[in-house]
Amino acid sequence: MRSDTATLTCSQPRLPRPRLAGWYTLAWSIALIVALPVLAVFYLALFPDENIWSHLASTVLPVYVITTIELVVGVSLLSMVAGVGSAWLVTLCRFPGRRLFEWALLLPFAVPAYVIAYVYTDLLEFAGPVQGALRTLFGWETARDYWFPEIRSLGGAIVMLSLVLYPYIYLLARAAFLEQSVSLRDASRLLGCNAWQSFWRISLPIARPAIAVGVSLVSMETINDFGTVDYFAVKSLTAGIYDTWLNMYNLGGAAQIASLMLIFVVMLITLERKARERQKQFHSADRFSVMEPYRLRGWRAAVATAFCLMPVVCGFVIPCGLLAWYASGYLDQLWSEDFLSYASHSFTLSLTAAVVSIAIAVVLAYARRLYSERRSLQFAVRFSSLGYAMPGAVLALGVIIPLAAFDNSVDAFMRRHFDVSTGLLLSGTTFALVLAYVVRFLAVSTGAVDSSLSKVTPSMDMAARSLGQTASGTLMRVHLPLIRGGLLTALLVVFVDCMKELPATLIMRPFNYDTLATFVYQYASDEMLERCSLAALLIVLVGVLPVILLSRSITATRRQA
């Protein structure tokens, strides 16, 4: 442990590299392709139909900005408390239900944000069962007789988004806690720290990089969300983008807001990165030694159980229970041929996109490792994953534009030289959809792969290369087997994200092509949640399976000892 830390706090050692720079070229090409959509949005921003800023600045911009900040800060804080707190409890403490919570805490991740928003509105609005019961109980009659928190509000949106987003943080924080050196914690206990102090002084600071990645994923998801904020009438910047684009017919202006939002996100991420630049850690050899957990008893155990129970019940049990209740009236849908095709479309698309996304993430992360001193490559790779912070529909335009330009140039070329029209080769195909998913969720896969790969000590590379392996051979024989768990995590997270994806799918899909998410949307948008509850439930259930698998694989890494 000491020698690792010593090498690395000085400077990253240069790894032996292949002569032909194949990895370098490959990574650059991929990064460029994946960055195209974001660049296309920047390009759109150069041509506003009219200058939108003077109008915005004098009217709604302050509201948009403040609301967005409140939303992002609120969701990040709430998700962090739920995610880090529960991760620490299930990893380092023993209390009733811990084994169950280990995986159950991931379940809300499979629930799309727009679905949970619809479900809770049904439950908590005036006509819903909760307020209905209260009225019967207290003899109130109209909404003017009593006060009840308004679900369609900024606070409501913060809670809804946190409920489905905290698992990102939970997942990453838990992995970080599991990997932490037991000896450090043992030392802190020997020196007289209690569980609480040890959490604040040791576990939390060491887990900070992982938590930071989680929080940045959560904030980006929050920023790009449109379904929930629109439904709750929360005026965030994303709402402003749609308004400028569709109501003021000013796509360029909308692209400007989106670009600005992106710059803001980049600044935040850079700041955070700078703040912990000096910290670098690698696994120590005693990672697998048995750790002595804190055994909680009495009220402490009760509080721990309640703390972990709440997000699971609110984020999963209640919404899915209600969906199942609705769905029970529409079970015959399940056997219709259409429905099966929607499900298989969702499944194959998401799986393909997840696999491609992970493959790309591995290439990018490994090239960064090989060429760690090439700043331009580092930048290009980071830039390529920015699509995540853009509203889905705007990013979809960013994918549509270069694809259509490519198709049309190929067509023009073929017409000119061979008198053949090739038409649209890629636009409006499932290829375009997979590309959109990959671009949209690359931040998730690179984040996960990067953090796994960065924990493999460089001496592994050196040993493998001095034993005659090529760079590719080292990746295949040494790194991939070592980071298998991390890859699986990334794969499953991206898969679940793709299952839930809606805005890009809606605009870019081929003719006569539905997925579970688009099927849900056509009814949910008309407030007929009952009719699509079965599909919504299926999205969740298909997402739950990998979530459970995921949790088992993570736990397995610990128990391999």
Q: Which of residues 220-259 bind another protein (CB under 8 A)?
A: 232-233, 235, 242-243, 245-251
DSSP structural state of residue 233: T
- Is 406 one of the binding residues for another protein (CB under 8 A)? no
Please tell me the distance from the alpha carbon of residue 497 to that of residue 495, in angstroms, as a whole number.
5
- Is 431 one of the binding residues for another protein (CB under 8 A)? yes
Choose the binding region for another protein from 203-211, 270-278, 364-372, 514-522 (rule: CB under 8 A). 514-522
Two structure tokens written together for 153 = 């509000």
Q: Which three-class secondary structure state does DSSP give residue 93?
A: strand
- Smallest distance, Å, CB 319 to another protein? 18
Considering only 144, 297, 375, 417, the residue that binds another protein (CB under 8 A) is 144
- Smallest distance, Å, CB 401 to another protein? 5
Q: Which residues in 370-399 contact another protein (CB under 8 A)? A: 393, 396-397
- Is 454 one of the binding residues for another protein (CB under 8 A)? no
Considering only 434, 438, 493, 544, the residue that binds another protein (CB under 8 A) is 434
Please tell me the distance from the alpha carbon of residue 171 to that of residue 491, in angstroms, as a whole number.
13
- Is 461 one of the binding residues for another protein (CB under 8 A)? no
Choose the binding region for another protein from 21-29, 209-217, 403-411, 549-557 (rule: CB under 8 A). 403-411
- Smallest distance, Å, CB 356 to another protein? 8
Length of the chain: 561
- Is 267 one of the binding residues for another protein (CB under 8 A)? no
Two structure tokens written together for 312 = 């699971």
- Is 303 one of the binding residues for another protein (CB under 8 A)? no
- Is 29 one of the binding residues for another protein (CB under 8 A)? no
Q: Which residues in 159-178 contact another protein (CB under 8 A)? A: none
Task: List own/partner pairs for 335-338 with CB under 8 A and 24 or more apart.
Answer: 338/514
50 — alpha (psi -120 to 50), left (phi > 0) or beta?
beta
- Is 337 one of the binding residues for another protein (CB under 8 A)? no
Query: 294 - beta bridge partners?
Result: 93
Q: Looking at this protein, which amino acid is placed at residue 533?
A: S
- Smallest distance, Å, CB 34 to another protein? 18
- Is 60 one of the binding residues for another protein (CB under 8 A)? yes
Q: Which residues in 522-551 contact another protein (CB under 8 A)? A: 522-523, 525-528, 530-531
Two structure tokens written together for 389 = 């912070």
What phi and psi, each to the nearest 5 degrees, are found at residue 421?
Answer: -100, 125
- Is 447 one of the binding residues for another protein (CB under 8 A)? no
- Is 470 one of the binding residues for another protein (CB under 8 A)? no
Considering only 185, 345, 382, 455, the residue that binds another protein (CB under 8 A) is 345
- Is 351 one of the binding residues for another protein (CB under 8 A)? yes
Q: Which residues in 479-508 contact another protein (CB under 8 A)? A: 480, 491, 503, 506-508
What phi and psi, each to the nearest 5 degrees, are found at residue 488?
Answer: -60, -45
Number of residues near another protein (by CB under 8 A): 76
Nearer Cβ to another protein (141/277): 141
Residues 457, 283 contacting (CB under 8 angstroms): yes
- Is 57 one of the binding residues for another protein (CB under 8 A)? no
Nearer Cβ to another protein (235/368): 235
Nearer Cβ to another protein (98/509): 509
Nearer Cβ to another protein (116/358): 358
- Is 405 one of the binding residues for another protein (CB under 8 A)? yes
* Rounded CA Rg of the chain: 25
21 — alpha (psi -120 to 50), left (phi > 0) or beta?
left
Please tell me the distance from the alpha carbon of residue 22 to that of residue 473, in angstroms, as a whole number.
13
Please tell me the distance from the alpha carbon of residue 490 to that of residue 179, in angstroms, as a whole number.
17
Site mask for another protein (CB under 8 A), range 90-129, x = bound? -----------------------------------xxx--
Q: Which three-class secondary structure state does DSSP give residue 338?
A: helix
- Smallest distance, Å, CB 400 to another protein? 5
- Is 152 one of the binding residues for another protein (CB under 8 A)? yes
- Is 53 one of the binding residues for another protein (CB under 8 A)? no
Q: Tell me how far CA of residue 287 lies from CA of 96, 291, 454, in angstroms.
A: 26, 9, 16
Please tell me the distance from the alpha carbon of residue 350 to that of residue 516, in angstroms, as a whole number.
11
- Smallest distance, Å, CB 392 to another protein? 9
- Is 65 one of the binding residues for another protein (CB under 8 A)? no
Two structure tokens written together for 191 = 């020196």
Task: Print the SS3 string covering 32-74.
Answer: HHHHHHHHHHHHHHCCCCCCCHHHHHHCCHHHHHHHHHHHHHH
Please tell me the distance from the alpha carbon of residue 280 to that of residue 305, in angstroms, as a whole number.
34
Please tell me the distance from the alpha carbon of residue 518 to that of residue 168, in angstroms, as a whole number.
24
